[in-house]
Chains A and B, each alone.
Chain A
Amino acid sequence: MKTLLIGEYRDGKLLESTYELLGFADQLGAESALLLVGSESQLPAYSGTLYIADAATCGEYNPDLHKQLVLNAVQQENPDYIVFLHSSYGWDLAPRVAASLKAAQISEIIAFADGSFEVGCCNAKMRRSVKPNSSTTVLTVQAGAFPALQAGGTPTVRKLTADVTSPLEFLGYEPAEKKDVDLGKAEIIVSAGRGIGKKDNVPVILALAKALGGELGASRPVVDAGWVEHSHQVGTTGQTVSPKLYVACGISGAIQHLAGMKKSDFILAINKDKDAPIGEIADVLVVADVMQFVPALTAKIAA
């Protein structure tokens, strides 16, 4: 079995998540080659074949060109699996490669067994097992689902080039908004999710945060709706936190939220849905209406 792993590089840097692909290939027990649109001055700690294209000339973000580079490597390697991370790079590029090869694509893999792959569905509440019907299969693996593997060594480098005119032009990166609250250092965080119902209820969550001497956090929809400032958002596109206590109020537990808070020492979740995926990582799941339970808890703590 052979895999071609598609590593990631951004804004002049090799991304650490690339090593998760090596961890995945290792668990799969597959021979691997790695492809990177990056820089030869920053080789990954890896001892296999590395197909490398120069990001300075290829552009860090040009899906049409990157697709062609991957297809060139596929032709040389003839892999069974072409593996991406399920990331902004992977979900943009993988379907293009899959469509060009007319290969099956299975997205956001969290596990595998006997040639079938396990993926989340229904907002992470349920799982599906999926089997490819094609000989070559494109996979995207969920970030964090497989441990990073840094085996070390120096790769055997093979250079890749491609010449493609693209209707897309990359204009530049825009840095993340500056955060005025550093949740990374907070020992206690009480976060509001969409389950709080409306903006007017934010003070109720804030009151619990204050009573506990902690900070206010929020899930993304609460931020997108303008109920809470973006600087309080927890998750892949917000902050990563690891407090002693994390209280999730009306938060379902989507993977992108969990990625930002699963390292908390103790997780208390309040949700009216007993099956909410937050229950999978919570130390305590209180099945209740958040607007009834939280004020009662605050009152008792403040008393």
Chain B
Amino acid sequence: MKLLVCIKQVPDLESRFKPDAAGVWYNETDLAFRMNEYDEYAVEQAVQLREKLGDGCELTVLSIGPDRVVEAIKKALAMGCDNAAHIQDSAASSKDPWQIASIISAYAKDKGFDIIFTGMQSQDRGSAQVGVTVAEQLGLACTTTITSFDYDNGTITAKRELEGGIKAAVKLKTPALVTCQLGLNIPRYPTLPNIMKAKKKEITAIAVADLLKEAALSTTTSFHPPAKKGGGIVLEGDVADLVEKVIAILKDKTAVLR
């Protein structure tokens, strides 16, 4: 069995975002990066399956991006992936979802992966497209937003999350791609011995130009903060002061405090 998991490195979402010089994406200065949360669930699920299948199973982690993404790749290796492909692209953020998917598909095309795991969406871009598009490009069976996953002898059984807490149970034949939702599992923390072991695992670097043959189907023309709706009061300062102010407002504006 050959497994692939695709991960994206995203900024800490509690950061302040400022537009870059072109005004079409964020300026990376001062941002700290980590693995996209949805992709952590994907890695954990892939590693669990890798462990269940044992010898003869190979799990590759792939990430497209500049050199900094090697940090996220190393985390995935320490969680239990066997080897990695780093598709080097310092301009990855300017590619549209179609191009990102095309790069992944071009890499995966001749490798015979039985199952590909991706996140449901990336937290910074959030298009929720890349996984399904890869499946279409490669002609794989696909299901999205899974909160449970089981594999047995060429068949995946999964639950998809729908609105309002309803779920849809589905069965699909491999080769297949699944996109992982929050709560699918509890991602492990890499242990120190596994972090050490991961240092010896192979990370293959591939230039993006070797894989990308597609033009973008859409273009970002602006990156900006939302227009402030206003109305709301923002309170800052000393905690004791804040408490007094909030109590006064609650008494004045709501019927819940007398």
Which residues of A are interface residues toward B (Cβ below 8 A)? 10-11, 61, 63, 86-89, 91-92, 94-96, 98-100, 102-108, 116, 119-123, 125-134, 137, 166-177, 187-188, 212-214, 220-221, 223-225, 230, 236-238, 244-245, 252, 265-266, 268, 273-277, 279-288, 292-293, 296-297, 300-301
Q: Is the CB of B221 within 8 A of A130?
A: yes
Q: Is the CB of A283 within 8 A of B217?
A: no
Q: In the complex where A91-B145, A107-B128, A171-B171 touch, is A279 in contact with B234 (Cβ < 8 A)?
A: yes
What mask results when residues 1 to 38 of chain B are scored 1 for a CB within 8 Å of chain A, else 0?
00000000001011011000000101000000000000
Among the stretches B80-88, B109-117, B200-208, B236-244, the one at the interface with A is B236-244
Q: Is the CB of B224 within 8 A of A283?
A: no
A173's partner among B24, B120, B167, B246 (CB-CB below 8 A) is B167
The 10 A-B pairs with the shortest beta carbon distances in the complex, nearest first, are A176-B165, A99-B136, A167-B141, A224-B183, A104-B217, A95-B132, A171-B169, A104-B218, A129-B222, A174-B167
Q: How far is the CA of A11 from the CA of B233 in the complex (A)?
A: 43
Q: Is the CB of B220 within 8 A of A284?
A: no
A266's partner among B166, B173, B254 (CB-CB below 8 A) is B254
Q: Taking the complex as formed, is B144 at the interface, i.e. its CB lies under 8 A from any CB of chain A?
A: yes
Which residues of B are interface residues toward A (Cβ below 8 A)? 11, 13-14, 16-17, 24, 26, 96-98, 101, 120-121, 123-129, 132-133, 135-137, 141-145, 157, 159-173, 176, 182-183, 186, 215-226, 228-229, 231-236, 239-240, 242-244, 246-247, 249-250, 253-257
Select from chain B the residue with minimum beta-carbon distance to A166. Answer: B141
Q: How far is the CA of A102 from the CA of B136 in the complex (A)?
A: 11
**B-side contacts of A167, CB under 8 Å:** 141, 172-173, 176
Q: How far is the CA of A23 from the CA of B223 in the complex (A)?
A: 26
- In angstroms, how far is the closest chain B Cβ from the Cβ of A245? 5
- In angstroms, how far is the closest chain B Cβ from the Cβ of A210? 13
Interface centre among B96, B165, B169, B229 (most CB of A within 10 A): B165
Q: How far is the CA of A220 from the CA of B101 in the complex (A)?
A: 29
- In angstroms, how far is the closest chain A Cβ from the Cβ of B187? 11
Q: In the complex where A106-B218, A126-B224, A133-B218 touch, is A175 in contact with B256 (Cβ < 8 A)?
A: no
A236's partner among B164, B215, B225 (CB-CB below 8 A) is B164
Q: Is the CB of A176 within 8 A of B254?
A: no
Q: Is the CB of B168 within 8 A of A170?
A: yes
- In angstroms, how far is the closest chain B Cβ from the Cβ of A61? 5
Select from chain B the residue with minimum beta-carbon distance to A240. Answer: B164
Q: Is the CB of B164 within 8 A of A176?
A: yes
Q: Is the CB of B16 within 8 A of A275?
A: yes
Q: In the complex where A88-B145, A275-B16 touch, is A121 in contact with B124 (Cβ < 8 A)?
A: yes
Q: Is the CB of B219 within 8 A of A285?
A: no
**B-side contacts of A293, CB under 8 Å:** 239, 242-243
Q: Is the CB of B232 within 8 A of A297?
A: no
- In angstroms, how far is the closest chain B Cβ from the Cβ of A164? 12
**A-side contacts of B143, CB under 8 Å:** 63, 92, 168
- In angstroms, how far is the closest chain B Cβ from the Cβ of A76? 22
Interface centre among B169, B218, B233 (most CB of A within 10 A): B218
A131's partner among B144, B167, B219, B240 (CB-CB below 8 A) is B219
Q: How far is the CA of A206 from the CA of B39 in the complex (A)?
A: 32
